């Protein structure tokens, strides 16, 4: 029995609505009732005035940067430990991303480091709610107010997570969501912007679809993108949102089951849930500490031999040497905590529909692998 890191939770309901979209001939990203419905349901879910579908999480982040007029000469503060799409979005606009090192328990950006990195060039902060745990947003929002900065949330891994009872996605100026196959809500590929401000929403909608003209469609208003999500994918998204409570419950139970079994293991750091947050546990991540530091390769290989798939953690921006060389950039200052997570962290099979039997197999093999690595 191979236990994969994630299996998409899609089936008959998604197929039925997607088929309906195709049967109606509404297959593009311009027309179709499912686009409207997905956007309406998702805006309700995040408690925002607008939700704007886009073709991926990466597109959402780039569109956010373009909407906020981030450009050459501007600096954007970004969580160092994230999917590199968050950084690429800043680079696409010719701006400079500044990595902010992580907290060692939530793995989110360390708020205490933020203010010292703000310069007259700083325009925005991208707070990434990593692995489903929200960033401590109030201090971020206070700094943003003080220095007149935009706040973008990267919610790609945190659909439904809350911060002090407030929904993520509506805490800053723009929320960016991903619906890739392994995300909490999926449309295969896809994404969403969540926005409250009327002007920002109008600009995002314009740029998303080639900035078509009003009177003459082909007299364009700006240099736009085609980041539209098709009505067929939106149909899948609508089906997903009908079972969102079930998805979130499954994730929570998956995490609680691992935590109960692993909480007494030495030399590992497990996911946490701060008093200010609800964690939606996109993936169940583990960081090796103490005697297990530097032994990730050995442990992941041992699990693979037992047909248990795991995935190594993100390599932080401060270590993306190939990107820096190619662009003739100098490496930013080190982010020691993010680099340690990236070196000693990996995640366990954590899909929404993982069975307890599968989890028991993972736990059994993991405990054995950890013990072997400790004894070595």
Ligand X SMILES: *Cc1c(COP(=O)(O)O)cnc(C)c1O
Does the footprint of ligand X cover residue 57 (CB under 6 A)?
Answer: yes
Angle, CA 66 vertex, CA 109 and CA 319 arms, to 5° = 40
Question: What is the number of other CB atoms lying within 10 angstroms of the CB of residue 263?
Answer: 9
Does the footprint of ligand X cover residue 128 (CB under 6 A)?
Answer: yes
CB nearer to ligand X: pick between 57 and 170:
57
Total residues interacting with ligand X, rule: CB under 6 A: 14
User: What CA–CA distance (Å, rounded) separates 234 from 249?
Assistant: 23
User: What CA–CA distance (Å, rounded) separates 127 from 1?
Assistant: 38
CB nearer to ligand X: pick between 85 and 193:
85
Q: Which of 82, 108, 320, 352 binds ligand X (CB under 6 A)?
A: 82
Residues 357 to 376: which contact ligand X by CB under 6 A?
Answer: none
Q: Which of 156, 174, 241, 250 binds ligand X (CB under 6 A)?
A: 156
Q: How far is the CB of 215 from ligand X (least distance, A)?
A: 34
User: What CA–CA distance (Å, rounded) separates 9 from 246?
Assistant: 11
Q: How far is the CB of 273 from ligand X (least distance, A)?
A: 18
Q: Which stretch binds ligand X (CB under 6 A): 30-38, 54-62, 229-237, 246-254?
A: 54-62
User: What CA–CA distance (Å, rounded) separates 102 from 203?
Assistant: 32
Q: Which of 26, 136, 153, 154 binds ligand X (CB under 6 A)?
A: 154
DSSP secondary structure code for residue 209 in this structure: B
User: What CA–CA distance (Å, rounded) separates 54 from 297?
Assistant: 37
Asked if 232 and 22 count as a contact pair (C-beta separation under 8 A), the reply is: yes
Contact letters for ligand X, residues 168-197 (x by CB under 6 A): ----------x-x----------x------
The residue with its CB nearest to ligand X is 57
Does the footprint of ligand X cover residue 137 (CB under 6 A)?
Answer: no
- Measure CA 214 to chain center: 34
Q: Which stretch binds ligand X (CB under 6 A): 77-85, 256-264, 325-333, 365-373?
A: 77-85
What 3-state DSSP class applies to 191? strand
Q: Which stretch binds ligand X (CB under 6 A): 25-33, 149-157, 257-265, 344-352?
A: 149-157
Q: Which stretch binds ligand X (CB under 6 A): 55-63, 223-231, 305-313, 362-370?
A: 55-63
Q: How far is the CB of 61 from ligand X (least distance, A)?
A: 6
Q: How far is the CB of 268 from ligand X (least distance, A)?
A: 22
**Paired strand residues for 286:** 346
Q: How far is the CB of 360 from ligand X (least distance, A)?
A: 27
Which regions of the chain does DSSP assign to beta strands (E)? 50-54, 75-79, 96-100, 122-128, 150-154, 162-163, 166-167, 174-178, 191-195, 268-269, 277-278, 284-288, 311-312, 345-348
User: What CA–CA distance (Å, rounded) separates 305 from 321?
Assistant: 31
CB nearer to ligand X: pick between 57 and 237:
57
Q: Which of 58, 167, 231, 240 binds ligand X (CB under 6 A)?
A: 58
Q: DSSP per residue over 257-299, as a string?
A: HHHHHHTT-TTEE-----TTEE---SSEEEEE-GGGTT-HHHH
Does the footprint of ligand X cover residue 83 (CB under 6 A)?
Answer: yes
Residues forming the site for ligand X (CB under 6 A)? 56-58, 82-83, 85-86, 128, 154, 156-157, 178, 180, 191
């Amino acid at each position: 029995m191979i236990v994969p890191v994630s299996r998409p939770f899609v089936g008959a309901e998604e197929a039925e609505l997607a088929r309906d979209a195709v049967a109606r001939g509404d297959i593009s990203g311009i027309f179709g009732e499912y686009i409207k419905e997905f956007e309406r349901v998702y805006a309700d879910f995040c408690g925002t005035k607008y939700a704007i579908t886009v073709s991926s999480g990466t597109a959402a982040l780039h569109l956010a940067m373009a909407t906020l007029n981030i450009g050459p000469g501007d600096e954007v503060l970004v969580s160092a430990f994230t999917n590199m799409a968050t950084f690429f979005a800043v680079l696409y606009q010719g701006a400079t991303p500044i990595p902010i090192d992580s907290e060692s328990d939530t793995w989110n950006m360390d708020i205490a480091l933020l203010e010292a990195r703000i310069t007259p060039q700083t325009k925005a902060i991208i707070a990434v709610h990593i692995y489903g745990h929200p960033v401590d947003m109030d201090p971020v929002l206070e700094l943003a107010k003080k220095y007149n900065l935009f706040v973008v949330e990267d919610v790609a891994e945190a659909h439904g997570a809350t911060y002090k009872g407030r929904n993520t996605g509506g805490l800053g100026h723009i929320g960016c969501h991903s619906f890739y196959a392994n995300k909490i809500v999926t449309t295969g590929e896809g994404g969403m912007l969540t926005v409250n401000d009327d002007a920002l929403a109008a600009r995002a909608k314009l740029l998303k679809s080639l900035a078509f003209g009003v009177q003459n469609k082909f007299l364009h208003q700006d240099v736009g993108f085609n980041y539209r999500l098709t009505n067929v994918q939106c149909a899948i998204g609508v089906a997903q949102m009908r079972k969102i409570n079930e998805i979130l419950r499954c994730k929570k139970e998956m995490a609680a089951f691992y935590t109960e079994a692993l909480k007494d293991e030495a030399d590992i750091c497990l996911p946490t849930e701060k008093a200010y947050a609800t964690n939606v546990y996109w993936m169940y991540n583990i960081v090796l500490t103490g005697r297990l530091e530097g032994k990730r390769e050995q442990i992941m290989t041992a699990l693979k031999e037992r047909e248990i798939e795991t995935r190594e953690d993100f390599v932080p921006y401060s270590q993306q040497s190939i990107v820096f060389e190619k662009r003739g950039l100098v490496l930013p200052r080190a982010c020691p905590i993010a680099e340690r997570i990236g070196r000693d962290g990996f995640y366990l099979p954590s899909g929404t529909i993982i069975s307890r039997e599968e989890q028991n197999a993972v736990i059994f093999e993991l405990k054995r692998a950890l013990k072997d690595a400790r004894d070595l």
